[in-house]
Structure 1
Amino acid sequence: MTLSDPVLRLAADLVAIDSRSTLSNIPLADRIERELAGFEVERLDYTDPAGVAKRVLVAHKGPKGGHALSGHMDTVPATGWESDPWAPRLDAQGMLHGLGSVDMKGQVAAAILAARAAPADVPATLLITADEETTKQGAALIAKESRLAGSLGLKGIVVAEPTSLVPVRGHRSHVAFTATAHGVQAHSSTGKGVNANWKLLPFLAAMRKVHDELRSNPALQDTEYDPPFSDFNLVIDNHGTAVNVTVARATAAIKFRYSAKVDPAPVLRAVRDAARDAGLDLDERHEGTPPELPADHPLVALAARITGRAPRTAPYGTDASALQALAPCVILGPGDMAQAHTPREFVRAQDLLDAVPLFGRLLAAGAA
């Protein structure tokens, strides 16, 4: 097996373009657009919260209606990589290596090839987003502002993520909290500073109780998910402060992921109350309601029939949180999520080859 196959060659080309979420993705969007001859293409440009120029693409050919294939252009940072993350390599075992190979430039390449191959009487739509790994801003922009996507009357959206080609009918969404404590910076030996960490500690103690309650209280859990308890992950940052300097700013960032059957209100209330009691500034950003379809929903049933795999749920999040405003979403794609976000990221080349006709069958079924 070599990179001469169209889907592997395109996937390798996309991997070779650095599109970490902190960078502009416009060079990658331009490269993708070169693959879309014969499509009506809508470009939606925006500036992310850091002031970085971004672009999302909506492309369509054929009649209206049908299904859309969606994928994102951004990747996570290259943390821990010992080889060149943007040097795609196909090894002797048939694995395509590189940052974004499985999450999710291989997915995007397979979706593009499937849409391009769709017959003239089959509606074929591509929703190519940005900032999926951070804010979901690109998907939200498409859902809210895309003239083309909004005009098509889509029946469903296949959000391509590495699910080992098993249909995922629902997943969690998140609330991102950032609690900030302020102190006074000084040389720690002078006694004139105020260490913000001491202000943060009561809040952290309260958050530990929330974390433990989520894992021990069945009323806050969802047995249709693995694990059944909601994620409540904490990251503490002193923003580079040296050990001989009192901390002027300390932040506690928490990502709370919950499924559709879990009421987030008690957690929201506990975080807000603890931040207020500790005198902290609190920022919270909501990803959107958790997308979840019943197992017998027509789109889920179709995906299960075409793949021959029973649908399941997933603990992570995807652009479906935003794109569900356009049409029902199922998450489905080649590759193993266990390889995503690692410094040895790869995707099995055969999985990408298999995904192209599978995506094509899903598009064809949308014409019925």
Structure 2
Amino acid sequence: MKNATREALDTLSRLIAFPSVSSASNVDISEYVDTLLRSLGFETERTTYVDSKGIRKANIVAKRMPVEPSDSSAAGLAYFCHTDVVPAQNWVGPNPDSPGDAFTATLANDRVYGRGACDMKGSLVAFLAAVKQVPQASQQHPLWVVCTADEETGFQGARHLVESSTAYREIVAAQPVAIIGEPTELGVVHAHKGITGFRILSRGRAAHSSTAEGVNANVAMVPMLQKIAELNERTLTEPRYRDLRFDPPTLSWNFGFTDHGTAINITAPKSEAWVSLRTMPEIDGSDLIDEAQRHAQSLGLEFQPLIGCDPIWVDANAPCIQTMCELAGAVPTTKCYATDGGLFGELNQRLVCGPGNIAQAHTADEWISIEQLEKGTDLYRRAITQWC
């Protein structure tokens, strides 16, 4: 095994060891990444905020300028990632008979297992390894690394970055090529869907069901669920809600329901329904959401919009896409998931490209192959060389 690979695996193991689940703070891992970036010649800006549950979170924007800037107007390259991960309660790892700890990296079958190995600490490690291979003395244009919080739970970190970071404003002014390093097996994604939705609440009063004292919150919710199902059917059948550039080409209207019931002889005091949909560049479903809101209000129900992110769409023939495809030996594709890159709409040259397969993300045995880490490092090195 190459020394560079061993070093990358050691860094990945250290990152996995931070239990940076979105429900917890990511400040510790951010401080560690900040140290790594400074050792590579970056100046860093670290901004923090307190999330809705009172937990402190951190974003990092790091910039490495060339020693002798070029007279060219080329804008450089910015790499984006997130440091939070999904929970790991049902972790099995590479050996279901001996699951081990999701936050202790395990090397087996030429893979690194651990929560975040694929999504997306492996990607960050590959990019840092690539940076190490490009001396600052050879750099002619700016290079940025951006690490956000809360990507897995509503993109609050990216939203705070856009609203509060002075360093991010510099990136917007420069308009570099922006690589969102989510796992694509190093394919080049020029477009992905956004996400939005809403929540509906019906309030009742709990009482013994044998009496007339209670108010069952489900009664008012039933016609709302019927409306939600009707709207879902329209997204599947009406051509105006289809974009054949995506697979599936629909809004992927998804919904659920709970009444918080505690026993069959107690009337439900609260009933909740939620809807999530995947927006597309010219199809955002806003008319369907408005119709749902009007119906909820007519039933006396509370309506709460859910904040998500916009889709990404950069023309497949754009120079940044074509150049990245040449570097990766790939063709541009679209995806139906969302990334916090959807919050960075002020950046005109966005694309998604990273090591690892999205199918391994969020799984009970999440892993990334050593081969993908090495290939990702090589591709990122060539991208840095191309634009910096």
1:24-59 per-residue CA deviation (whole Å, 9 max, x = no partner) reads 111111121221122101001001112110000001
| TM-aligned CA deviation for residue 79 of structure 1 | 4.5
Aligned equivalents of 2:147, 2:212: Cα separation in 1: 54
Match of 1:197 in 2: 218
1:200-242 per-residue CA deviation (whole Å, 9 max, x = no partner) reads 1111111111111111222211100011111111122334634
Match of 2:167 in 1: 148
Corresponding residue SS for 2:44: strand
Ranges in structure 2 where 5+ consecutive residues have no aligned partner = 70-74, 93-98
Q: Which range is displaced more, 10-19 or 63-72?
A: 63-72
Distance 1:266 1:42, change over 3 A: same
Aligned equivalents of 2:373, 2:193: Cα separation in 1: 26
| TM-aligned CA deviation for residue 147 of structure 1 | 1.5
- Say if 2:182 is the partner of 1:161: yes
Point out 4+ residue stretches in structure 1 off by more than 6 angstroms: none
Distance 1:239 1:111, change over 3 A: farther
Q: Would you say the 8 A contact 2:155–2:309 is kept in 1?
A: no
Match of 1:41 in 2: 44
- Say if 2:351 is the partner of 1:348: no
Aligned equivalents of 1:189, 1:95: Cα separation in 2: 59
| TM-aligned CA deviation for residue 307 of structure 1 | 0.5
Aligned equivalents of 1:174, 1:29: Cα separation in 2: 26
| TM-aligned CA deviation for residue 257 of structure 1 | 0.9
Q: Would you say the 8 A contact 2:251–2:285 is kept in 1?
A: no
Matches within 5 A, 1:149-228: 149-152=168-171, 153-228=174-249
Distance 1:8 1:245, change over 3 A: farther
Question: For this pair of structures, how many residues does the alignment match?
Answer: 366
Identical amino acids, percent of aligned pairs: 30
- Say if 2:146 is the partner of 1:130: no
Instruction: Name the amino acid aligned to 1:134.
Output: T
Aligned equivalents of 1:6, 1:86: Cα separation in 2: 18
Q: Would you say the 8 A contact 1:66–1:124 is kept in 2?
A: yes
Instruction: Name the amino acid aligned to 1:140.
Output: R
Matches within 5 A, 1:281-292: 281-292=302-313
Matches within 5 A, 1:70-149: 70-82=80-92, 83=99, 84-91=101-108, 93-120=109-136, 121-122=139-140, 123-149=142-168
Match of 2:24 in 1: 23
Match of 1:5 in 2: 6
Aligned equivalents of 2:190, 2:292: Cα separation in 1: 30
Structure number with greater Rg is: 2
Match of 1:269 in 2: 290
The one of 244, 254, 259 equivalent to 2:275 is 254
Match of 1:53 in 2: 56
Aligned equivalents of 1:253, 1:6: Cα separation in 2: 45
Q: Would you say the 8 A contact 2:309–2:340 is kept in 1?
A: no
Aligned equivalents of 1:323, 1:360: Cα separation in 2: 23
Name the TM-score, length of structure 2 as normaliser: 0.89
Match of 2:95 in 1: none
Distance 1:191 1:6, change over 3 A: farther
Q: Would you say the 8 A contact 1:258–1:290 is kept in 2?
A: yes
Q: Which range is displaced more, 306-315 or 55-64?
A: 55-64
Instruction: Name the amino acid aligned to 2:84.
Output: D
| TM-aligned CA deviation for residue 176 of structure 1 | 2.5
Match of 2:96 in 1: none
Instruction: Name the amino acid aligned to 1:148.
Output: A
Name the TM-score, length of structure 1 as normaliser: 0.94
Q: Would you say the 8 A contact 1:71–1:104 is kept in 2?
A: yes
- Say if 2:359 is the partner of 1:304: no
Q: Would you say the 8 A contact 2:187–2:331 is kept in 1?
A: yes
Matches within 5 A, 1:306-345: 306-345=327-366
Q: Would you say the 8 A contact 1:185–1:246 is kept in 2?
A: yes
| TM-aligned CA deviation for residue 23 of structure 1 | 0.6
Q: Would you say the 8 A contact 1:214–1:220 is kept in 2?
A: yes
Aligned equivalents of 1:173, 1:280: Cα separation in 2: 26
| TM-aligned CA deviation for residue 263 of structure 1 | 4.1
Aligned equivalents of 2:110, 2:287: Cα separation in 1: 48
Instruction: Name the amino acid aligned to 2:90.
Output: G
Distance 1:79 1:223, change over 3 A: farther
Distance 1:239 1:361, change over 3 A: farther
Q: Which range is displaced more, 100-109 or 145-154?
A: 145-154
| TM-aligned CA deviation for residue 144 of structure 1 | 2.8
